Structure 1
Amino acid sequence: MYDSSGEAIGGVVSFRSCKQNMFADGEPACSFHGIVGKSRRMLDIFQIIREVADSKATVLILGESGTGKELVANAIQKLSSRCHRPYVKVNCAAIPDTLLESELFGHVKGAFTDAHADRVGRFALADGGTIFLDEVGDLTPPAQLRLLRVLEQGEFQRLGSSETIRVDVRVIAATNHNLWQLVQEGRFRDDLFYRLNVIPITLPPLAQRREDLPLLIEHFMEKYRRLTGKPIYDISDKANDLLMAYAYPGNVRELENIIEHAFARTDSSVITENKLPFYLRSDSDARLTAEGAAVDSVSEERSRILSVLQRHHWNRVRAARALGWSRTTLWRRMRQFDLLERSEQRGATVK
């Protein structure tokens, strides 16, 4: 709590509103099987996950790198009736093209030069359970054809064998590519695209769900407090402003890397701006304001702050949250733009 001059005169114990927003099983909506968020788009995604988890239908998770596609796949598997069955993950982009078919479907001895023994493929290992095909857009044309057969008929043949193997596997796929564009370019089969795209889930980039930033920052601070044992519980106003204004082209993964970087360099209980990566402090072109577009004049910034205050009925806590600032930072900007007196007059009128 602050007096009219901005001096601290007390404190209030508060609880996050997300704890009041619960799913039917009592789990806080801001944390859903390892996925953190309370924005409308994320809550909608949580609901879709719950609805489709126990289906056998194929799920295609779309989104930029670092948005949490694997976390969504994990949540679907955990909530399904196959949760205690095999769960096999394959990063299609990490396997050389020459080995991809063998890795997915297996081979028999002598199928190719280095095939010195039989090999069980990932689909056979996942029989009765779930397989997660990450970066499915990087599959080679032969592998695409074999995957199509598995999706259509539930069967495949190992390389070098004429024996047909039947499997019962739930397929969850993910990609950061625009698969439809790859189809138009002739680099991805259209029939496979339609088979994969039964239940599409598109994850928004972090820049489009900025209201989740405070939750994510605290989530990663808690994670690295636990991993490092460092009692770091706070972020300075300047550091917080930088974190809230950055564009995050690397999405949630980049935010986690930034917090890990800060923990590695911080020896006190507070993360200050000089402990953040240098590019956050120097690359002004990479920053966004929390309200969207960059403010290019003092008058525009004053108007923006005034508009947010009016929208939240001059409640500074809510206005600061909407702007992505700490309460102290909002107070300083209000003082800079002569808005404190108007705030006090508004408070007196309400009383």
Structure 2
Amino acid sequence: MSCRRYRRPAPDAGLPREDDDDRRRPPVFGEQAFPQGNEGLPADITMRVAARPPAVHETGVIMTAPQPVRIGVVGAGLMGRELAAVCGRWSQLVDHPVLPEVVAVADPQPAARDWFRRVASVQTFADDWRPLLDDDSIDVLYLAVPHHLHEDLYIAAADAGKDYLAEKPFGIDATAADRIAAAISGSDSFVRVSSEFPFFPGALRAYAYAASGALGDILEVRSQFAHSSDLDRSKPINWKRRVETCGRIGVMGDLGLHVAHVPLRLGYRPATVYAMLDNVVTQRPGADGSLVDCDTWDNALLACRVPSTTDEPRRFSMLWET
């Protein structure tokens, strides 16, 4: 994301220097800081972690023995495997309060489930997600399924009182999104969307700088997620290129969230939107090798106007590209 400005910031504005007293404070999005240590964890986990005797890392750092968190994965595709890989490396973190482990996986495809047999901690292999929702020994779920399955699964998980991390978008269309949001609001579940970009150090610093006001009056904002995987026209079709499984939103419902997340966190909410959408690759090989129509958008540029908070009543330009 880039912002153009036309007013020079004050001489002392900007990011904290290495000698600033607040250099160890957690990054802040709006008014809520990211938790450090045990802050923000459920009370029972916090109490159990605090009760554990400390250990000493080889560097001499005093560590707290981490509390295991048992994870059930629904959707054994790419993102489900990515989560298993991340959990496998988690022990490299120093003094983290929890230790996640994948203990269950659900997917209708046997081959997809079988990949998880290499993960020693996985004990449950199911062809349906319902057993994972009914399993009280599972602490949290990771839901990584195609868009058309989001509504039923996300609502059922909320109704079951399960805490979960789920893939974007929360619903294949606006109606589904409203139903999911209502179910979550009416439950005790702790729910978050899986969107990692705003948590990267570079994105955090960019956010902090923009939020500080150091940019002055905003002339325009450009936010882009440049991707190239779909340029290979021989790549087989997948669910993301079909309206029935991805939704009419197309690429903006997938990669588009990476483009929109930081600007929306900064409060840059469009008053008007003009969308220029392309279906660049119109056909891809199907399962039998024959060409299948791609009926979703695979490239998008959104031209937006955003009310200025520092130079009213002007509206600045914002471009989202993916």
Q: Does the TM-score normalized on the shorter chain lie above 0.5?
A: no
Output the TM-score relative to the length of structure 2: 0.28
Output the TM-score relative to the length of structure 1: 0.26
Q: Decide which structure has the larger Cα Rg and report it.
A: 1
Greater share of residues in strand:
2
